[in-house]
């Protein structure tokens, strides 16, 4: 009788141990439902990183929805011009009366407008204003053109070129843009 009870206990504990992580994961809210505890600087850093990876370039980009979650008003797609950047740096937050400002400095190499590239070297500063919504910081009122990295754009042009060649087409504009970007 004792041996049988021990087996039942061991089997019962084994089942409980196996089901505990499942129940734990099901009943605890995911990150999507939790308040975002990141700092304003971390929010701006993520925004700029995703933007450089084409997140604002096209709403079909998987980063587009993530960028939207960082904004008070997530309606930022639909620009005709994109700034091509080599890099960006995020400054320290400065507290103001209505939130926090974080300045970003971009190292620009050019513009993409209407499918055409133009070289425009220089430095650009943009100030991101963040407001607190609940316990989360959100970027508020930002209206700047997408700032895409040269590397991301080159990869995007090369992907487009491969797709067109596979379909039997040749696009000289894409070839010219790839050659130009590689020179920058």
Instruction: Give me the residue spans of the domains in the chain.
Output: 35-149
Give CATH for domain 35-149.
3.10.450.540
Please state, in angstroms and rounded to a whole number, the distance separating the CA atoms of residues 50 and 97: 28
Tell whether the model's pLDDT for residue 2 goes beyond 80.
no
Mean pLDDT of 34-51: 89
Q: Left, alpha or beta for 147 (phi > 0: left; psi -120 to 50: alpha)? A: beta
From the CB of residue 177, how many other CB atoms can be counted at a distance below 10 Å? 21
Q: Left, alpha or beta for 59 (phi > 0: left; psi -120 to 50: alpha)? A: alpha
pTM for this predicted structure:
0.75
Write down the pLDDT at residue 24. Answer: 39
């Amino acid at each position: 009788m004792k041996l049988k009870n021990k087996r039942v206990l061991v089997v019962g504990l084994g089942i409980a141990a196996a089901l505990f992580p499942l129940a734990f994961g099901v009943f605890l809210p995911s990150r999507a439902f939790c308040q975002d505890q990141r700092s304003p600087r971390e929010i701006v850093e993520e925004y700029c990183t995703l933007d450089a990876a084409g997140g604002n370039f096209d709403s079909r980009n998987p980063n587009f929805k993530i960028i939207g979650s960082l904004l008070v008003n997530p309606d930022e797609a639909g620009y005709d011009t994109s700034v091509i950047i080599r890099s960006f740096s995020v400054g320290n937050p400065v507290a103001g009366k209505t939130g926090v400002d974080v300045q970003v400095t971009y190292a620009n190499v050019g513009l993409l407008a209407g499918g055409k590239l133009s070289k425009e070297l220089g430095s650009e500063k943009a100030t991101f204003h963040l407001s607190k919504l609940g316990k989360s910081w959100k970027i508020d009122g930002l209206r700047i053109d997408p700032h895409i990295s040269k590397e991301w754009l080159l990869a995007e042009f090369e992907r487009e070129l491969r797709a067109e060649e596979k379909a039997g087409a040749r696009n000289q504009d894409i070839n010219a843009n790839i050659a130009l970007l590689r020179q920058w």
